A and B are shown apart, each in its own frame.
Chain A
């Protein structure tokens, strides 16, 4: 007879959390969200800059832009997206996640029409779709299945 019951195999919460973070698609989704949001926030900040004094140089314009809190925040969000992207690439083959990342182009352009009322012409939309197609072609190997 067993006197001591075998200890229950219970995973520490930290381990469960780590396993969750370790899933490539979470890292990928986070990178897409942060990269797209970062670019949008940067553009929102640039749009809200007060008009500059006529004839101000490039350096003055840049300082003006960088000191805008939204621009700075957008850069940070974009940086977080880059970190998540590196994490994605370290967990999944780049040939698989790379074409997926072309969704960023579609999302940024779509969001620009919604948030900034930008007008996307048929040519611009077609151009973005060709870019997505090209990125899919770039990593898909012909005649060979890749894992």
Chain B
């Protein structure tokens, strides 16, 4: 696989992973008892499917990052991580119907422009 493609997939996967984690932790809080104890907490985490999705995405993202970065400059790959904020904003708006104001869309546009400049460098 092309190292640049690996970095892109890695960056997108870690953004998706964050959403899964947020979802999983929210579910955990919602259904949790007041003081579940350590065992209860561990069981709750294991039963939460979104936390598993997070784990899978996280490991895959890390693996692709390491594989891709072997061939690329760190000063090229690292700024691309910021595309995650763009994806999270889109997903929050589309999936969770969060209101995204005009300034936030402007911020997303500015970050995209920055990412395009770095990706083309």
Contacts and interface: CB of A to CB of B under 8 A. Distances in A.
B118 interface: yes
B111 A109 contact: no
Given A39-B74, A66-B66, A134 B103 contact: no
Tell me whether chain A's interface is mostly helix, strand or loop, or mixed.
helix
- The size bracket of the interface on B is 35 or more
B35 interface: no
Given A118-B73, A120-B75, A130 B103 contact: no
Nearest to B76: A124
A127 B73 CA distance: 15
A121 B8 CA distance: 20
Interface of B: 1, 62-63, 66-67, 69-70, 73-76, 78-79, 82, 85, 89, 101, 103-104, 106-121
Interface residues of A, number: 41
A82 to B, nearest CB: 11
Contact of B78 (A39, A46, A62): A39
Interface stretch (A4-12, A18-26, A136-144): A136-144
A133 B113 CA distance: 11
A14 to B, nearest CB: 23
9 contacts: A39-B74, A39-B78, A46-B70, A105-B82, A118-B75, A123-B118, A127-B116, A134-B110, A134-B111
